[in-house]
């Protein structure tokens, strides 16, 4: 306990986080997937494939069950599922991270402005959030994909743009309370302008819940991409993602279970790891606040 007193709050949260065995396991899983994604991403850049080329078709080997040659079997075009899974991890996680970042940026901006300034601006922005929740997002995606092309970057951006409203509401609520704290009042009384207060005083204090949202936002985006694949609006073939391996395999459901099971396990475990990590973080962070 002595060490905690001398170190910074963030470090204390981190330590408490690490003391949670569930969090530790989740962290290891996340690290594993990130490592996998980074290395296959690098491999793709350099043209090195492990264990084989994820897009190379080999029709005489199609729909093979898992074996020594193909640990996780092959798909309907004879492509190696393990290779596609590894390759897909890099796309799926990128989708998760980038889309989350996009929606986080927008959400924090809107939420911060709305929560800090309040009044009519808050009213308008929150009605905007209401409106967006009522809006046909399917068409937004459809239009964007049709107008800008079915590029993976477009799809990531669209997923990000659709998902910021939750963050915005959370940040707003956070700001509404923090706005009234003594140090913010003091800063305002000293004549500091709005944006420095937002960035220097409020945002760092709202960091924990925002960070938790971010962690939880990653699996959300991965699941959304998988859902988009279901209606063929996801990432384009032959590029593999966890979602579209499942959906391409859906027609072979009764003949080739391995096309469904393995990528599903990947999505599930990755999402679970992120959620658990997020929860553990939240727990670690709230304990700190209570003690204060």
Partner 1 sequence: MIRALIYGLPALLLALIIASFVNVSLLRQSRNNEFSVGMLGEPATLNPIKASDSASSQVAGSIFNGLLRYDENLEITTDLAESFTLSQTTTVFFSSENDALTGLLRLEAARPQWESLRIQSVRMEGPALLIRLGEPGMAASEKIFANLAQTVPVQVVRVETPEPAGRALAKLRAAEGGGAVIRVWEEGSTAFEVSVLGTPEKALARVSFYLKEDAGVKVRLVETQGFLAEPEVVFQLRRGVLWHDGEAFTSHDVEFTFRALMSEEVASPRKADFDTILRVETPSEKTFRVIYRKPYSPALASWMIPILPAHILEGKPQEWWVAHFDRKPVGTGPFRFKEWKTNEFIRLDRNPGFFRAPAPWLDGVVYRMLSDQLALRLAFETRQVDFWSVDPWAVAAFENDPRFQLFAMPGNSYSYIGWNLRRAPFDDERVRVALAHAINVPEMVRFILYGHGTPSTGIYTPQMWFFNPHIQPLAYDKTLARRLLAEAGWSPGPDGILQKAGKRFSFTLLTNNANEIRRDIATLVQDNLRDIGIEVKIETYEWTVFLRNFINKGDFDATVLGWALGPDYDQFQIWHSSQVNPEQLNVIRYNNPEADRLIEELRQEYNREKIIRLAGRLQEIIYREQPYLFLYVPESVSVVWRDAFRIRRPQGGVWIDTPIEMTKAGWSYFADWFYRPEYAGHLPTVGSPATSQ
Partner 2 sequence: MLNFIFRRLLVGSVLLVLISIVSFFTITLAPGAPYPWGELNPKISPQVKEMYRKKFHLDRPLWEQYTLNMKGLFTGELRSLKDERPVLERIFERLPATVLLNVYSIALALVFGLLWGVWSARRAGTTADMLSSVGAFALIALPGFWIAYLALIGLVNFFGIPVLGTQSYGIEFPNGLTQLLDRLWHIVLPGTILALGGIAVQSRYIRATVLEALQEDYIRTARAKGLPEEEVFYRHALRNAIRPLITGIGALLPALIGGSLIIETIFAYPGMGRLGYEAAIERDYPTLVALNFIVAALILLGNLLSDVLYAVVDPRVRLE
Q: Which chain residues interact with partner 1 by CB under 8 A?
A: 55-57, 59-60, 62-63, 76-78, 142, 145-146, 149-150, 232-233, 236-238, 248, 250-255
252 touches, from partner 1, partner 2, none (C-beta below 5 to 8 Å by class): partner 1
CB 149, min distance to partner 1, A? 8
**Nearest residue (CB) to partner 2, 27 versus 272:** 272
- In a 13 Å sphere around the CA of 160, the CA atoms on its Cβ side amount to 22
If contact means CB under 5 to 8 A according to the sort of partner, which of partner 2, partner 1, none does residue 59 touch? partner 1
- Considering only residues 45 through 64, tell me which ones interact with partner 2, judged by CB under 8 A: none
- Nearest distance, CB of residue 273 and partner 1, angstroms: 29
Pick one of 85, 245, 246, 285: the residue that binds partner 2 (CB under 8 A): 246
44, two tokens? 């793709």
81 touching partner 2, by CB under 8 A: no
DSSP H or E stretch at residue 292: none
60 CB-near residues (< 8 Å, 6+ apart): 78
Site track for partner 2 across 90-129, x = CB under 8 A: -------------------------------------x--
Q: Would you say 8 or 60 has its CB closer to partner 1?
A: 60
DSSP readout, 137-185? Answer: HHHHHHHHHHHH-S-HHHHHHHHHHHT-HHHHHHHHHHHHHHTTSHHHH
CA 280 to each of CA 1, 16, 184: distance values in angstroms, whole numbers, following the listed order: 19, 9, 29
Query: Which of 59, 68, 147, 190 is in the footprint of partner 2 by CB under 8 A?
Result: 147
Q: Quick check: 18 binds partner 2 (CB under 8 A)? A: no
Q: Is 227 in the site for partner 2 (CB under 8 A)?
A: yes
Nearest distance in Å: CB 231, partner 1: 9
Contacts of residue 289, Cβ cutoff 8 Å, sequence gap at least 6: none
Q: Is 275 exposed, middle or buried (0-12, 13-18, 19+ CB in 10 A)?
A: middle
Residues counted in the chain: 292
Looking at the DSSP bridge assignments, the partners of residue 80 are: 74
DSSP, collapsed to helix, strand or coil, labels residue 80 as strand
Out of partner 2, partner 1, none, what residue 195 binds, judged by CB under 5 to 8 A for its kind, is: none
Tell which positions 190-219 bind partner 2, by CB under 8 A.
219
Query: Which window, 66-74, 92-100, 130-138, 200-208, contacts partner 2 (CB under 8 A)?
Result: 130-138
Q: Locate tokens 């959030």: which residue? A: 129
The answer to whether 243 and 267 have CB atoms below 8 angstroms apart is: yes
Residue 35 binding partner 2, by CB under 8 A: no
């Amino acid at each position: 306990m002595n060490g905690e007193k001398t170190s910074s709050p963030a470090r204390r949260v981190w330590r408490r986080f690490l003391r949670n065995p569930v969090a530790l396991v989740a962290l290891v899983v996340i690290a594993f997937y990130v490592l996998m994604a980074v290395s296959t991403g690098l491999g793709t850049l350099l043209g090195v494939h492990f264990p084989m080329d994820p897009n190379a078709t080999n029709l005489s080997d199609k729909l093979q069950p898992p074996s020594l040659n193909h640990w996780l079997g092959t798909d309907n075009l004879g492509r190696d599922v393990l290779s596609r899974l590894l390759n897909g991890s890099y796309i799926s996680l990128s989708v998760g991270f980038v889309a989350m970042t996009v929606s986080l940026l927008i959400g924090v901006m809107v939420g911060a402005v709305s929560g800090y300034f309040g009044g009519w601006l808050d009213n308008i922005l929150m009605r905007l959030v209401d409106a967006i929740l009522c809006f046909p997002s399917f068409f937004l995606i459809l239009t964007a994909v049709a107008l800008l092309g079915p590029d993976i970057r477009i799809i990531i951006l669209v997923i990000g743009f659709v998902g910021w409203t939750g963050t915005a509401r959370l940040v707003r609520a956070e700001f509404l309370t923090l706005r009234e704290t003594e140090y913010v009042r003091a800063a305002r009384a000293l004549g500091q302008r709005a944006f420095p207060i937002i960035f220097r005083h409020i945002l760092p204090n709202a960091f924990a819940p925002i960070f938790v949202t971010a962690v939880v936002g990653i699996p959300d985006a991965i699941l959304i991409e998988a859902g988009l694949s279901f209606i063929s609006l996801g990432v384009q073939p032959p590029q593999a993602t966890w979602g579209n391996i499942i959906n391409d395999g859906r027609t072979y459901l009764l003949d080739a279970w391995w096309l469904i099971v393995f990528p599903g396990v990947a999505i599930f475990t990755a999402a679970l790891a992120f959620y658990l990590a997020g929860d553990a973080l939240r727990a670690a962070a709230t304990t700190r606040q209570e003690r204060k």
